[in-house]
Amino acid sequence: QVQLMQSGGGVVRPGGSLRLSCAASGFIFKNYGMHWVRQAPGKGLEWVAFIRFDEQTKYYSDSVKGRFTISRDNSKNSLYLQMDSLRPEDTAVYFCAKDLIRGTTNYFDYWGQGTLVTVSS
């Protein structure tokens, strides 16, 4: 069965950095686009970043562009989010999510368990 197992996260000071990881299993990882989506405490969902199956295309939300970097290692079935210059407003639960259909669709059919990132001094 499809599993997305997240790691990383924690508490970091403003201006600091953190790296999130998402280990995929149960599907052919290299065939699917992947995303990061976040949810601030008690708030709604915010799409953060996308990477195409072959890494040739990446998109970011304006709120993280220039500070966050999405990457993947298809040989390790893993997705990453490097978060730099963190701000208090980046505090959220971060989810990795898989595209529904091989190639690209940008609907999210499987999600990681979520990892909390807290940016606070």
Partner 1 sequence: EIVLTQSPATLSLSPGERATLSCRASQSVSTYLAWYQQKPGQAPRLLVYDASTRATGIPARFSGSGSGTDFTLTITNLEPEDFAVYFCQQRGNWPRTFGQGTKLEI
Residue ranges binding partner 1 (CB under 8 A): 35, 44-47, 50, 59-62, 95, 100, 105-109, 111-114
Nearer to partner 1, 11 or 116 (CB): 116
Nearer to partner 1, 16 or 61 (CB): 61
The structure tokens listed for 108 are 């999210």
Q: Nearest distance from residue 75's CB to partner 1, in Å? A: 26
Question: How distant, in Å, are the alpha carbons of 52, 63, 65, 67, 116 from that of 14?
Answer: 30, 15, 17, 13, 15
Nearer to partner 1, 16 or 110 (CB): 110
The structure tokens listed for 18 are 């953190």
81 beta partners? 20, 70
Question: How distant, in Å, are the alpha carbons of 14, 69, 113, 121 from that of 6?
Answer: 22, 16, 7, 25
Nearer to partner 1, 11 or 40 (CB): 40
Q: Nearest distance from residue 69's CB to partner 1, in Å? A: 16
6 beta partners? 22
